[in-house]
Amino acid sequence: MRIKEMTDLEKAKRILKDKNQSLVIIKDGKTIFCSDSPGIDGILQAIEKFGEQLSGASVADKVIGKAAALLLAYTQVAEAYAVTMSRKGLGTLRNHDIPVEYDVLVPEILDRKGRDICPFEKFVLKIESPSQAFEELKRYVESLKERKGR
């Protein structure tokens, strides 16, 4: 009897849940990136570190909204999974022909206090281009870090 090997996405999902990560990226059977950073920090770090090498990878993320989805489209991942997925995130991934799985679909991603829409989701509301989203989100995150440093 032959044992079925896990797909890259199945591996990413398992690591995400078993090791309590926020983001796991697997390519060709190998874990190339893991992060427990909240928000889009992990995806931005992965893009900075691996760039085009992320093309064709499988990604598991705790939360995918439109901002994260645009970044995944920018990197041309093969497939994605989210524990929690927003409708706009799902639409964005589908518009870019990225197969997607999720556990919970929500109308929108909220901020950490659960009172308002996530600031990254607000930021990309009118952005549809993955490359524009990457450039502008990168600058936005850098400006937030500079403000916190003061």
Write down the residue that tokens 């690591």 correspond to: 15
Is 106 inside any structural domain? yes
Span 7-17, mean pLDDT?
97
Is 2 inside any structural domain? no
User: From residue 128, how far is each of 9, 66, 104, 111 by CA, in Å?
Assistant: 26, 9, 23, 21
Is 3 inside any structural domain? no
Is 41 inside any structural domain? yes
Is 123 inside any structural domain? yes
Residues 6+ apart with CB under 8 A from 107: 86, 87
Amino acid of residue 108: E
When divided into structural domains, the chain yields a total of 1
Span 87-106, mean pLDDT?
98
pLDDT at residue 144 above 90? Answer: no
Is 70 inside any structural domain? yes
pTM of the entire structure?
A: 0.94
Domain range spanning residue 118? 8-149
Percent of the chain with pLDDT over 70: 97
Question: How many CB atoms neighbour CB 104 within 10 A?
Answer: 10
Task: Judge contact between 62 and 83, C-beta under 8 A.
Answer: yes
CATH code: domain of residue 54: 3.40.140.30
Is 74 inside any structural domain? yes
How confident is the model over 31-86, as pLDDT tens digits?
Answer: 999 999 988 999 999 999 999 999 999 999 999 999 999 999 999 999 999 999 99
